[in-house]
Amino acid sequence: MMSSPHAQSSSAGGSEPATPARIVDALKTVAGNPPKARASFAKGQCVRGTYTPADTAAEITRSASFTKPQPVRGRLSMGGGNPHVPDTNKLVLRGFAMAIGEGAQQTDLLVESAPVHFARTLDQMLGFLQARAPGDDGKPDAAKVKTFSDANPETLNQAHFVAAHPLPASFAGTIYWGVHAFPATNAKGETRPIKFKIVPVVGEITLSDEAAKELSADFLFDDLRERIAQDGMHFDVLAILGSPGDPTQDVTQRWPDEDSRDTVKLGTIAINAIDNNEACDATIFNPATIADGIGQPGDEIFAARSAAYAISLRKRR
């Protein structure tokens, strides 16, 4: 069930439309306005590695980002705008932003530990965040959250997915999804929508809630450094193949039978070095940076990302 545009607009704070700048301000407000921090995925570590294409990549895309060996600059992170969020927080997303390739061969890819976003439109995203703005006691008004969620039930799809899965025990053992549908064009000129899925070669590694109680607030980043000092971290880059009728414009919805869909391996990412965080903090991973052979998704959330990230960068610099 999708809420009406009127319900979304009224929930988003009257007739004033949502903009990337208002979204960034709302994200910062929900996080308590920590200084010099990203509006989202504030806690993270910059890394470097390489991308090695699979023979099957060219079946899906002619993009040099995915059909040729490339350097990778990446950032593994915790969701939300709190740069001190504990890694034991089960309800926070894990993120993986990466620049595959350089110059004309560069594609910036942003994936996270859930296959859907929490809003379909900017108005809905702003309403979601405003409902969760902390009050004088530092906590959101539970009644406001419930009212908005009842009117916009699809905005809980992401939270329900995360809550239903165990706590990730390692960035190296987490599955990451791209929530957008990208039009991919191969050398024959054939185009079809795909979703990106980044799958750990070692398989998923998770923890029980009980075991997490014994861990430090930074255990994921400690584990990250240990793994890179040993054998590194390895991920397969998969393309989930779209079909006619898939909801390519609604990032709160999964494709039908998405987990059992045909996938094609594009290549493998090896993360083998910790990088200075300034290498990532000095700029943004820009979703609009896409090498020829992959097109820009047409949904409203994707269209706003580049502007929002640039605004967030200016605020923290």
Statement: residue 11 has pLDDT above 60:
no
| Tens of pLDDT, residues 103-161 | 999 999 999 999 999 999 999 999 999 999 999 999 999 999 999 999 999 999 999 99
Structure tokens, 269: 């990412």
Residue range 250-274, pLDDT digits in tens? 999 999 999 999 999 999 999 999 9
Nearest to 111 by CA among 40, 38, 192, 197: 197
Amino acid present at 148: F
Q: Where are the beta strands (DSSP E) in 141-201?
A: 167-168, 176-177, 182-185, 191-200
What does pTM read for this prediction? 0.93
**Whether domain 5-316 has CATH 2.40.180.10:** yes
Query: pLDDT tens-digit profile of 195-206?
Result: 999 999 999 999
Question: Over pLDDT 70: what percentage of the chain?
Answer: 95
pLDDT band at 317 (very low <50, low <70, confident <90, very high): confident
How many angstroms separate the most distant Cα atoms in the chain? 59
